[in-house]
Amino acid sequence: METAKRTYTEPKPKKRWKKTVFILGMILMAIVAGLVIFVSVYTSRSLPEVSGEIQLESLSSAVEVVRDKQGVPHITADSSRDLFIAQGYVQAQDRLFQMELARRQASGTLSEVVGEATIEQDQYFRTLGLRRAAEASLSAYSDEAIQSLEAFAEGVNAYMEEAEEGNRLPPEFALMGFSPDPWKPVDSLTIGKYMAFDLGGHWERQAFNYYLTNEFSEEQALELFPAYPDDAPKVLEETEQVDVAASFKDIVIPHEFNGSNNWVVSGEMTESGAPILADDPHLGLATPSIWYQMQLSAPDYDVSGVIFAGIPGIILGHNNHIAWGVTNVGPDVQQLYLEKRNPEDSSQFLFEDEWEQAEVIQEPIRVKDQETLDYEVVETRHGPVISEFAEQSGDDVVLSLRWTALDPTTELEAILEINRAENWNEFEKGLEKFLAPAQNFVFASEDGTIAYKANGKIPIYNNGDDALLPMRGWEEEDLWQGYIPFEELPKTVNPEKGYVATANNKITDDNYPYHISHNWAQPYRYQRIVEMLEEKEPLTSEKVMDMQMDVKNLQAQEFVPYLLEVTKKEALSESETAALKLMQEWNYEDQKELAQPLIFHSWMANIQEELYNEAIPKEMLDLFHGAGQTTDELLRKVQDSGSSIWMNKNGGVSEVVTAAYQKTMTELTKEHGGTPVEWTWGAGHAVEFTHPLSNIQMLERFFNPGDPLPVSGSRITVRAAGYNSKGLVNHGASWRFVLDLENMKEAYHLIGPGQSGHFRSEWYHDQLKDWVDGEYHLTTTEGYEGRELTLTP
């Protein structure tokens, strides 16, 4: 009886439990469904209105905004003021969160909304003082430019107020739990200063060279210098040394490969008989794009192209008369100075045998959910003391930074002028006000003129070798000797060869009287562009677009035969030998379907590791900008029967190359399997365009839709595609542009991943696959169709 009773009663709790689980599951599903509906409704509500009519009190007359099929806004206004109000409003519609992050990062105020995780980053940008430099620049602008900045800010603020009142701010603000403060003209200038920071100026390499001189023999140090000076820089006395590795362990370093391609060809080389201009700036690849494409039309404006979100005007593009594009010159515009501090007064520094008072600036840092952090910045006559960032303030010798971008500069003034230029003379006149960062401008006009100018403030050194190392802050003779005069900057107009091209390569010969830089990009992109331009076939827009997508690897073409020659074949396994034969069959193209690029780029990276990693700590290798260029020079040196100290100390070139190859094969076999012929470059080289909040759990599927896409190209091909240690392509052509001046009303563009910063927008990632496949869209400046929005007073 008892057994029967137990058998009868035991199932009851199971049934109740199943019923309870079912009910809880239904409740959970209802909650999730409700949350999904809420999120869907909220995010849909926060999408910008792109059609209909919206009232803006600050306008004096109606403004038409037509977004075409790619989401490119074409803005037409009756006055410049209304035009810039509308530009600010429209940019905020599509990119407000990006604009907010950009001004906070550059200003050093991320911790207010992020918390303690960004304190060190904020300290670094407060120390640099980008916002202080922007504030100082305001007084250098004309009344007209200030009015344009103010009008732009009015438009941004009009959208902010409207979105807040309607609870329609972009979803990122709700996720982070804050609302944006009103936009100010100085915010736009601060973002401009950040772009100068992003394009660098080589102080990191000076710090690395300084480390080399203090840690290695003179011969070892000089072999890794970016140039081999006739008079070796003197190693500083022991009492004048700074612990560089400790001083810069937490700094924010711009991407080493920030650069670009551009070229312009005369009508003599084109099928149409008119010039063709091409530009593809290489910057970080993320969502949203660093660029925002627009057309601006008013009685005194009609310009089309791209601008950084948060800034008025068009920085790159064309109007009805001219077209232009840029690459980074990469000059030595940043100089580290050793500073001797007064042991009796930490705010005084030696200059010409006297103690000089530095400026001590209070920069309190507000931190979310914590007390405000007191923070001081010390500025000497040269600039901010940046080694204090790593709490080295007690030392008697510190490092300060002199940098052209920390001076008052007027880039926006220049942009507004060149937007309205109609010929080379007017364009060049506008460039006088474009001071930082220094850029290689290529130009073409409807009258057939093509031109080039390396433009910006570039300091004059007593001796070009001075820029290799920190200089003495206490000696007047080590100060910059002014700047290269504007009329003497490198320039060419209508060159006989019929074209001008730049790819961050060396731009001057030994006859040029001034020092520009020790840190040029590897020459392969430039060499390949010139090869294609000199094929003598009449060029069309289509051929030029194909050129921008070219993946011929001239570095591999130069070095693979030598690497194969010096590899110790007897030390290789059967699979390693088979892969080596695979390299012999390579056409030297970095195509995503091929195995050879995967092997080659890993091999070269491991050669660098074999040479440097054991002797140089990681925090210093992070400052070793141009390591690839240096490694190339060492390989050339030994290939030409020379001797390399760094090769010899690692066992000689055969030992280095073989060890690197075997390490490469071990790593790739582990990652991709044991059959090299089945490997592909795309399996280790893919692009995603990540959103800044996508690393938060559960948000990736919203902000980074889809899996990373395999992509061709590399850091040293014309089709630039740099990648991180995980194989994720995070750097390359953020915008591609081609214009045949036969028709100034049409140009080819490509912005990855799309125009919008809102993940629910149809223009969020609509150009991602196009970016991978090299498919451009044609933008017309008249006769366009799309969604029509009218902004009315």
Enzyme catalytic residues: 260
Give the DSSP H/E element, type plus range, for residue 722.
strand 721-723
Closest to 107 in 3D by CA, of 124, 85, 87, 89: 124
Q: How far apart are CA 109 and CA 169, in angstroms?
A: 20
Give the DSSP H/E element, type plus range, for residue 710.
strand 709-710
CA distances from 210 to 334, 472, 611 (A): 15, 12, 19
Closest to 640 in 3D by CA, of 521, 554, 558, 567: 558
Closest to 153 in 3D by CA, of 77, 106, 56, 85: 85
The one-letter code for the residue type at 225 is F
Tokens at 579, concatenated: 């892969």
Please report, in range form, the residues annotated as the binding site for Ca(2+).
332
Bond prior to 182 in cis (omega within 30° of 0): no
Strand partners, 729: 687, 723
Burial of 654 (0-12, 13-18, 19+ CB in 10 A): middle
Closest to 523 in 3D by CA, of 489, 493, 554, 500: 554
Q: Taking the CA atoms of the chain, what radius of gyration do you get in angstroms?
A: 28
Strand partners, 471: 337
Closest to 402 in 3D by CA, of 201, 616, 620, 549: 201
Q: What angle do CA 776, 782, 783 make, to 5 degrees?
A: 90
Strand partners, 400: 337, 385
Residue keyed to tokens 């979100």? 309
The one-letter code for the residue type at 323 is A
State the helix-helix crossing angle for 80-107 and 143-165, rounded to 10 degrees. Answer: 80
Tokens at 319, concatenated: 């109007």
Tokens at 791, concatenated: 């902004």
Tokens at 605, concatenated: 């990276």
